[in-house]
Amino acid sequence: MCGIVGYIGHSERAQDVILDGLRRLEYRGYDSAGLAVLQDGKLRVVRTVGKLVNLESALRDVPLGGTIGIGHTRWATHGKPSEQNAHPHVAGTVAVIGNGIIENFHTLREELSGRGCEFKSDTDTEIISHLIDEQRKQGKGLLAAVRAAIQHLDGSYAIAVIDEEDPEEIVIAKNGGNPIIVGLGEGEQFVASDIPTILPYTRTVLILHDEEIGRIRREGVEITTFEGAPIARETRHIQWDPVQAEKGGYDRFMQKEIFEQPRAISDTIGPRLQNEDRIDLDEIELDPGFVRNLQGIQLVACGTAWHAGLLGRLLIERIARIRCDVDLASEFRYRDPLLTAEHMLIPISQSGETADTIGAMRHGMALGARSLAICNVHESTITREANSVFYTHAGPEIGVASSKCFTAQVVALHLIALELASLRGILTPDRLRDEIEALRRLPRLVEETLGLWSHVEAIARKYVNARDFLFLGRGYGFPVALEGALKLKELSYVHAEGYASGEMKHGPIALIDDGLPVVIVANQPSVYQKVISNAQEVRARGGAVIAVVEQGNRDASNHADDVIAVPAAPEAHGAVLATIPLQMLAYHIATMKGTDVDQPRNLAKSVTVE
Ligand code: F6R
């Protein structure tokens, strides 16, 4: 997850402030770093691969003196970690750093190449530097050039720009789920991708919203819309203690992690989707011959990761047409599984330290299966022992109940399913392109779904005193129902059951009583009618229905007491989108009840005993 820092002031401390800020952003994970400072009116850029110590030692030899500069930690999305791909990117007199993903990167790159631009990196951010440079060459000032350049960008991004020819300002812009804030000082200003980064310098901040541009000068900050209309944004005074600072201004880690999901997903898919027509998954070292001869795939996981596995099975069987089983890791060894060297075993684990998942992986590997782990933690036991690893780049998950790692695991499984299908030659190029395009759109839809926060809070208030909840779903909606019920149990200690909606009549219907809240995952068009008929059965018996549906659905309000509308999307993505309001529902009910959301009683983040 990339990090942005910027400084403009009177004393020559740009380099030191930027390095200090980058250190504070290290927790986000990165693979290279760089900075640009205007020294004696000239842009000076230093970039290095690996940890910040490398950048620091490069600067120790040739320190940069200057009062204005920008710095960046990069987590590779377009192009491998390398000095050329590290930010800042320079074109003409302009230097740019950026977070996020430019979706029309390929088209823009081709257009710019056609106009004679030469690229030094594989990144999408370099495109932005050339677009701005083109506008500068037409005589526009820096602010106007940035405004004109970003009109060409589709995607979600936050950028910061400096320019030799306009040495008195930093220009920043934001769109989509990449935060950027300004810290206001006396005659000096600070830019960063989160508030804690600038807290040692100032507690007065301005937060840039989507589709806004900021011009930052020593004496103050102007914010305008992308179209140029001035915005009077109030400053915020930050009073956090150090622990609150770590939470980035959110009340709890879990809330922060729910809101980090657009970034967790885009960081997980970004490096693997640099091309429009193929997936870059060389890291998982799949041999095409082995994949063609596969007899089956076995997923093993616990808890929330098992729910991701249930979605993974649907994805793998539907997309790659390979038989796929998914087992609770704790049960796997005890059913004498039939794995051979022609099977692939996929353990899924956020921590990489879950004892049952490790045990299941070792058992499957001892039977001859090749293992491909999905994991979020480098150097964990599972990643050390597996034959290969697909890392989810969700960043550290502190809340004990998993949120962003679940959605990152689902997109990881989706990418693996597509890779398997490609290696088996059963995906047409058009289908693959469509899948890639849809995956790239997902972070933005997740961002939009986060807007449901207050709506779901109001629904939570209505049902906060319910003693039991039922969650129902079918197809991709079934694992979502299980996950919604698990989150509610864990966080709020309210009894909740998740069921395949078709199973309702085979037992759980006996539970339905006056006012029992039943959450119906109904945003899957292929099973909508069936799921909604369960809603009717619930209401006929006095239960209260909360339906998660696609935006634009005009029918659900006839069958539900409360409706939560998520963006319309392909069904597999719909599962990710429907999960988010259910995480929110659990979170709100828990906070209203006053339970410890980040550390629910009796639970541990890594379950290292069987
Ligand atoms: C639930 C939750 C747990 C974990 C499970 C597996 O919110 O977090 O159910 O998913 O303990 O943990 P990992 O993924 O670390 O193997």
Q: What's the pLDDT tens digit per position in 575-596? A: 999 999 999 999 999 999 999 9
CATH entry, 246-427, from 1.10.4010.10, 3.10.580.10, 3.40.50.10490, 3.40.50.720: 3.40.50.10490
pLDDT of residue 274: 86
Question: Residue 62 — pLDDT band, cuts 50, 70, 90?
Answer: confident
Span from the CA of 305 to the centroid of ligand 1 (angstroms)? 6
Contact 294, 344 (CB under 8 A): yes
Span from the CA of 20 to the centroid of ligand 1 (angstroms)? 34
pLDDT of residue 177: 62
Residue where the block lists tokens 């890594």 = 606
Question: Residue 179 — pLDDT band, cuts 50, 70, 90?
Answer: confident
pTM score of the predicted model? 0.73
- Please, what is the angle between helix 303-315 and helix 571-593, to 10°? 160
Question: Residue 608 — pLDDT band, cuts 50, 70, 90?
Answer: low
Give the residue, out of 300, 327, 354, 489, with the most ligand 1 atoms within 8 A of its beta carbon, to mutate for a pocket test.
Answer: 354
Cα 90–chain centre separation: 27
pLDDT of residue 153: 95
Q: Give 111-157 pLDDT, tens digit per residue.
A: 999 999 999 999 999 999 999 999 999 999 999 999 999 999 998 89
Span from the CA of 402 to the centroid of ligand 1 (angstroms)? 6
Token duo for residue 328: 């609770």
The yes-or-no verdict on residue 27 having pLDDT over 90 is: no
Question: Is the CB of residue 464 below 6 angstroms from any atom belonging to ligand 1?
Answer: no
The yes-or-no verdict on residue 446 having pLDDT over 80 is: yes
Give the residue, out of 310, 327, 351, with the most ligand 1 atoms within 8 A of its beta carbon, to mutate for a pocket test.
Answer: 351
Cα gap 145→280, rounded to integer Å: 34
- Which region among 129-138, 291-300, 503-512 has the lowest average model confidence (pLDDT)? 503-512
Note the CATH number of domain 451-593: 3.40.50.10490
Cα gap 604→273, rounded to integer Å: 34
- Which region among 192-206, 337-351, 541-555 has the lowest average model confidence (pLDDT)? 192-206
Cα gap 377→400, rounded to integer Å: 15
SS3 566: strand
Other residues' Cβ atoms within 10 Å of the Cβ of residue 466: 16
Contact 250, 243 (CB under 8 A): no
Question: Is the CB of residue 349 below 6 angstroms from any atom belonging to ligand 1?
Answer: yes
Span from the CA of 257 to the centroid of ligand 1 (angstroms)? 15
Question: Is the CB of residue 39 below 6 angstroms from any atom belonging to ligand 1?
Answer: no
Phi, psi of 76 (to 5 degrees): -50, 130
At the top level of CATH, which class does the domain 2-243 belong to?
alpha beta
Question: Is the CB of residue 401 below 6 angstroms from any atom belonging to ligand 1?
Answer: yes
Residues 6+ apart with CB under 8 A from 225: 211, 212, 213, 231
Q: Whose CA is nearest to atom 5 of ligand 1?
A: 303
Nearest atom, ligand 1, residue 487 CA: 7
Token duo for residue 343: 């099977």
Span from the CA of 451 to the centroid of ligand 1 (angstroms)? 26
- Which region among 158-172, 175-189, 203-217, 469-483 has the lowest average model confidence (pLDDT)? 175-189
Question: Is the CB of residue 303 below 6 angstroms from any atom belonging to ligand 1?
Answer: yes
Q: Average per-residue pLDDT in the chain?
A: 93
Q: Work out the burial of residue 519: count CB atoms within 10 Å of its CB; fewer than 13 is exposed, 13-18 middle, 19 or more buried.
A: buried
Cα gap 443→571, rounded to integer Å: 15
Span from the CA of 302 to the centroid of ligand 1 (angstroms)? 6
Phi, psi of 109 (to 5 degrees): -65, -40
Cα gap 240→491, rounded to integer Å: 24
User: Residue range 184-200: average pLDDT?
Assistant: 92
Token duo for residue 449: 């779904």
Question: Is the CB of residue 305 below 6 angstroms from any atom belonging to ligand 1?
Answer: yes
Q: Whose CA is nearest to atom 7 of ligand 1?
A: 401
Span from the CA of 485 to the centroid of ligand 1 (angstroms)? 14
Q: Whose CA is nearest to atom 16 of ligand 1?
A: 349
pLDDT of residue 28: 66
% of the chain beyond a pLDDT of 90: 80
Give the residue, out of 258, 302, 307, with the most ligand 1 atoms within 8 A of its beta carbon, to mutate for a pocket test.
Answer: 302
At 153, the amino acid letter reads: L
Question: Is the CB of residue 300 below 6 angstroms from any atom belonging to ligand 1?
Answer: no
Report DSSP letters for 60-125, one per residue: HHS----SEEEEEEE--SSS-SSTTTSSPEEETTEEEEEEEEETTHHHHHHHHHHTT---SSS-SH
Cα gap 305→483, rounded to integer Å: 9
pLDDT of residue 14: 96
Q: Which residue has the higher pLDDT, 161 or 397?
A: 161
Q: Give 477-497 pLDDT, tens digit per residue.
A: 999 999 999 999 999 999 999
Cα 391–chain centre separation: 13
Span from the CA of 303 to the centroid of ligand 1 (angstroms)? 5
Contact 522, 559 (CB under 8 A): no
Give the residue, out of 381, 607, 609, 610, with the most ligand 1 atoms within 8 A of its beta carbon, to mutate for a pocket test.
Answer: 607
Other residues' Cβ atoms within 10 Å of the Cβ of residue 392: 28
CA separation (Å) from 442 to 152, 543, 566, 576? 20, 33, 12, 9
Question: Is the CB of residue 266 below 6 angstroms from any atom belonging to ligand 1?
Answer: no
pLDDT of residue 416: 98
Question: Is the CB of residue 350 below 6 angstroms from any atom belonging to ligand 1?
Answer: yes
Contact 193, 3 (CB under 8 A): yes
Nearest atom, ligand 1, residue 606 CA: 15
Of 427, 528, 509, 431, nearest in space to 470 by CA: 509
Report DSSP letters for 145-192, one per residue: HHHHHHTT--EEEEEEEEETTSTT-EEEEEESS---EEEE-SS-EEEE
Residue where the block lists tokens 């649907």 = 314
Question: Is the CB of residue 71 below 6 angstroms from any atom belonging to ligand 1?
Answer: no
User: Residue range 386-398: average pLDDT?
Assistant: 92
Q: Give 71-112 pLDDT, tens digit per residue.
A: 999 977 777 889 999 999 999 999 999 988 888 999 999 999
**Portions of the chain given CATH number 3.40.50.10490:** 246-427, 451-593
Token duo for residue 73: 């930690």
Token duo for residue 59: 């600067």
The yes-or-no verdict on residue 571 having pLDDT over 70 is: yes
Question: Is the CB of residue 231 below 6 angstroms from any atom belonging to ligand 1?
Answer: no
Q: Which residues are catalytic?
A: 2, 605
Question: Element (H or E) spanning 548, and its range?
Answer: strand 544-550
Cα gap 129→72, rounded to integer Å: 15
The yes-or-no verdict on residue 29 having pLDDT over 70 is: no
Span from the CA of 478 to the centroid of ligand 1 (angstroms)? 18
pLDDT of residue 609: 67
Span from the CA of 406 to the centroid of ligand 1 (angstroms)? 9
User: Residue range 504-509: average pLDDT?
Assistant: 90
Q: Work out the burial of residue 1: count CB atoms within 10 Å of its CB; fewer than 13 is exposed, 13-18 middle, 19 or more buried.
A: buried
Question: Is the CB of residue 438 below 6 angstroms from any atom belonging to ligand 1?
Answer: no
Question: Is the CB of residue 355 below 6 angstroms from any atom belonging to ligand 1?
Answer: no
> Taken in order 423, 425, 426, 428, is the CA torsion positive or negative?
positive
Question: Is the CB of residue 484 below 6 angstroms from any atom belonging to ligand 1?
Answer: no
What is the signed CA dihedral for 445, 102, 263, 269, rounded to 10 degrees?
Answer: 90
